[in-house]
């Protein structure tokens, strides 16, 4: 009679229910998590940040954010998901009803991300299909006289991307019609995602064996080939040579922290969902360290072939620049003995003998470092820079097919995790599970996302895609991760959680984890949030306008007021679910208390006792 009976939310880890889904093997779980975290950003975002912020010196803020911020939050998500065996909505409600809105924030954020992430896969699919054409369609300008001027003012690769693929408008407000080829690619991608996720982990677990491992095979091939390209060593030296002055730029620290947090897919609820299908006795600490290490090592591994190819591109551009200069000098001075190799000598000689005539030629300043400094990320790296480089590589069709097939495999395995982040909490809902089959829920998710994603297939669709990428999945992730740590450490309880982790792993929790969860991780995330607010650039975007005076340079425009409102909604509305959930729970308690007071005042004592 003196034993304290604890409510459910104060007990330890929950045992899996009989008949609940589970992973076929530990390898399947690890590959699914690795496929979720290793995505497009590892290939086209991380190398760009290294190139922008001083090469290898960027790893200093990256590793600090990784050790003190990202990996502790990652371990926390795996551990709490494995312990409580619930999706993100029921899990946070279980810990505290006042945290119920946190799960809805993760769900909304995951849905916003799948809208534009699958559009990126559609663009990759479009380029993959066109890679089978010989010659490659971005190798030369079209013969249509009405459009050839735009192509010659820029480049064939720019023209193929902006005009042939996107048929882009000059403004976000000029939407235009749907582009049918992009609609078909988007439909094909969503059909593939539906087929692979229709039965949850039971279906994604089978596909992940290919989608999570195939990219590493292609990356290895690119690594071997990239190292043999002329100029590859210049690219690698550029990557490995640190520029310590870049550490004075606070933006470098902010981008390093946001890169590792978004790269590990923290805050989406996918890791919580994946871990909930694990047995209670599983070493989630080792899983967290292993998967986080795979993610960061993949970024470094991908950077080697990327910078090798960038070095090759810079060398080709440098040599072409020298050849143009030699051509002009040879023509002006009528000296056929001048070559690229002897151009430095002749320039020095002519500077001393005929400097005025030489200056009138207006020769280009050929600097290999300048070409290496030309950084580009995201779609620009994949669809413009690489397509331009691949034209200069022997067997260009083969390398283009392999590259876009690799990007598609990386992206589709991440999509599995995003969809599972939504599917798991929805199918746990009593109403949904009672009346709707899991297959129908998955179908509704994919169909709704496809219909809403049609906005990205408009002529202004790329501007919308860039807006979603910039505002939907940056600050909200930090806020979710911050409240996750606060919820587990200070509401669920550090002692209880330590005991749960010890029960799951079979060994006491290390002081490192306790210190980071209690102090360092929340502190770093708070600092990131402050710097993000202070350093956030004004709401503007770059447009492709053939009538722009400085074309092919992009024309910078400010977002119109209605677009600013939408961008603010993308960034803030998901986060509002956290306070709304707490207010709703408080309102329920107050309402219930008032109801009891009303019943006590109205009902007679006898009936009150029966109640």
Mean pLDDT, rounded, for 487-513: 94
Residue 376 confidence (pLDDT): 61
Instruction: Give the model confidence (pLDDT) of 162-221 as tens digits.
Output: 999 999 999 999 988 999 999 999 999 999 999 999 988 888 888 899 999 999 999 999
Does 35 count as an annotated binding residue? yes
Determine the Cα–Cα distance for residues 481 and 102; give it in Å rounded to an integer. 10
What does the alpha-carbon distance between residue 38 and residue 40 come to, in Å, rounded to a whole number? 7
Flag whether pLDDT at 120 surpasses 80.
yes
Residue 39 labeled ligand binder: no
Residue 15 CA to residue 3 CA, distance in Å, equals 22
Its CATH architecture, for the domain 26-312+376-565, is Orthogonal Bundle (1.10)
Q: Rounded CA gap, 102 and 575, in Å?
A: 8
Helices (H), 58-132: 59-65, 71-84, 88-95, 100-130
pLDDT in tens, 78-117: 999 999 999 999 999 999 999 999 999 999 999 999 999 9
Q: Residue 30's pLDDT band (boundaries 50, 70, 90)?
A: very high
- Find out whether 295 is annotated in a ligand binding site: yes
pLDDT at 5: 42
CA distance 180 to 449: 17
For residue 6, the model assigns a pLDDT of 40
Is the confidence at residue 517, as pLDDT, over 80? yes
What is the structure's pLDDT at 98? 93
E strand or H helix that includes residue 601: helix 561-602
Q: Is 410 annotated as a binding residue?
A: yes
Q: What is the mean pLDDT of residues 142-161?
A: 80
pLDDT class of 611 with cuts at 50, 70, 90: very low
Dihedral sign of CA atoms 88, 93, 95, 101 in order? positive
Residues 110-137 as b/e (b if ≥16 CB within 10 A, e otherwise) read: bbbbbbbbbbbbbbbbbbbebbeeeebb
Alpha helices in 131-167 (DSSP H): 148-153, 156-159
Task: Give the per-residue pLDDT at 179.
Answer: 96
249 in a labelled binding site? no
pLDDT exceeds cutoff 60 at 8: no
The pLDDT of 252-261, averaged and rounded, is 88
Q: What is the pLDDT of residue 587?
A: 92
Q: Which of the four pLDDT bands, split at 50, 70 and 90, describes residue 316? A: confident
Phi-psi region of 574 (alpha: psi -120 to 50; beta: other; left: phi over 0): alpha
Compute φ and ψ for 589, nearest 5 degrees.
Answer: -65, -45
pTM above 0.75, yes or no: yes
Q: Look at residue 588 in the predicted model and tell me its pLDDT.
A: 87
**In this predicted structure, what is the pLDDT of residue 3?**
39
**Spacing of C-alpha 344 from chain mean position:** 45
| pLDDT (0 to 100) of residue 9 | 47
Give percent of the chain with pLDDT exceeding 70.
91
**C-alpha–C-alpha distance, residues 410 and 404, integer Å:** 10
CB atoms within 10 A of CB 308: 25
544 alpha-carbon distance from chain centroid: 24
Q: Are strands 555-558 and 540-543 parallel, antiparallel or unpaired?
A: antiparallel
| Ranges of each domain in the chain | 26-312+376-565
**Percent of the chain surpassing pLDDT 90:** 54
Question: What is the Cα–Cα distance from 130 to 313, expressed in whole angstroms?
Answer: 22
- Please report which helix (H) or strand (E) contains residue 542, including its range: strand 540-543
């Amino acid at each position: 009679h003196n034993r304290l009976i604890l409510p459910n939310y104060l007990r330890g880890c929950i045992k899996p229910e009989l008949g609940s889904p589970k992973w076929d093997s530990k390898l399947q779980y690890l590959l699914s998590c690795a496929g979720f975290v290793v995505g497009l950003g590892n290939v086209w975002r991380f190398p760009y940040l290294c190139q922008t912020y001083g090469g290898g010196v960027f790893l200093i803020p990256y590793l600090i954010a990784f050790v003190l911020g990202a990996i502790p939050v990652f371990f926390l998500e795996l551990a709490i998901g494995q312990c409580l065996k619930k999706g993100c909505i029921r899990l946070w409600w279980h810990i505290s009803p006042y945290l119920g809105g946190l799960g809805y924030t993760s769900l909304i954020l995951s849905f916003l991300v799948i809208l534009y992430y699958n559009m990126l896969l559609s663009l990759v699919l479009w380029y993959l299909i066109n890679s089978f054409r010989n010659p490659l369609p971005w190798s030369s300008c079209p013969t249509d006289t009405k459009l050839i001027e735009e192509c010659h003012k820029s480049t064939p690769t720019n023209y193929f991307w902006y005009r042939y693929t996107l048929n882009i408008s000059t403004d976000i407000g000029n939407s235009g019609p749907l582009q049918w080829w992009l609609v078909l690619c988007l439909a094909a991608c969503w059909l593939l995602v539906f087929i692979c996720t229709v039965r949850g982990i039971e279906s994604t677990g089978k596909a992940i064996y290919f989608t999570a491992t195939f990219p590493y095979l292609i990356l290895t091939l690119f690594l071997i080939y990239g190292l043999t390209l002329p100029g590859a060593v210049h690219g690698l030296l550029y990557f490995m040579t640190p520029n310590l002055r870049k550490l004075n730029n606070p933006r470098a620290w902010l981008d390093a922290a946001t890169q590792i947090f978004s790269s590990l897919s923290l805050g989406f609820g996918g890791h919580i969902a994946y871990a909930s299908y694990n047995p209670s006795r599983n070493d989630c600490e080792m899983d967290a360290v292993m998967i986080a290490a795979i993610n960061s090592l993949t970024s470094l591994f991908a950077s080697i072939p990327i910078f090798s190819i960038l070095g090759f591109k810079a060398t080709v551009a440098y040599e072409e620049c020298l050849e143009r200069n030699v051509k002009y000098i040879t023509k002006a001075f009528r000296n056929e003995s001048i070559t690229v190799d002897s151009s430095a000598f002749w320039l020095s000689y002519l500077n001393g003998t005929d400097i005025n005539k030489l200056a009138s030629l207006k020769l280009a300043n050929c600097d290999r470092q300048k070409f290496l400094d030309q950084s580009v990320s995201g779609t620009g790296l994949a669809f413009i820079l690489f397509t331009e480089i691949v034209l200069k590589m022997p067997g260009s069709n083969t390398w283009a097919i392999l590259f876009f097939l690799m990007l598609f495999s990386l992206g589709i395995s991440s999509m599995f995790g995003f969809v599972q982040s939504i599917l798991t909490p929805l199918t746990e809902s009593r109403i949904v599970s009672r009346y709707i089959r899991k297959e129908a829920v998955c179908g509704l998710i994919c169909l709704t996302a496809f219909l809403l994603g049609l906005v990205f297939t408009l002529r202004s669709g790329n501007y919308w895609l860039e807006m979603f990428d910039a505002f939907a999945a940056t600050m909200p992730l930090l806020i979710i991760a911050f409240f996750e740590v606060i919820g587990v450490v200070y509401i669920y309880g550090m002692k209880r959680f330590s005991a749960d982790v010890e029960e799951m792993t079979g060994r006491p929790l290390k002081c490192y984890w306790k210190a980071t969860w209690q102090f360092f991780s929340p502190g770093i995330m708070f600092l990131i949030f402050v710097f993000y607010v202070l350093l956030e650039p004004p709401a503007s975007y770059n447009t492709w306008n053939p009538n722009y005076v400085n074309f092919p340079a992009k024309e910078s425009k400010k977002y119109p007021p209605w677009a600013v409102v939408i961008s603010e909604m993308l960034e803030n509305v998901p986060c509002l679910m956290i306070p709304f959930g707490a207010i709703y729970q408080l309102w329920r308690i107050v309402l219930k208390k008032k109801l009891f007071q009303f019943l006590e005042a109205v009902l007679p004592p006898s009936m009150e006792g029966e109640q």
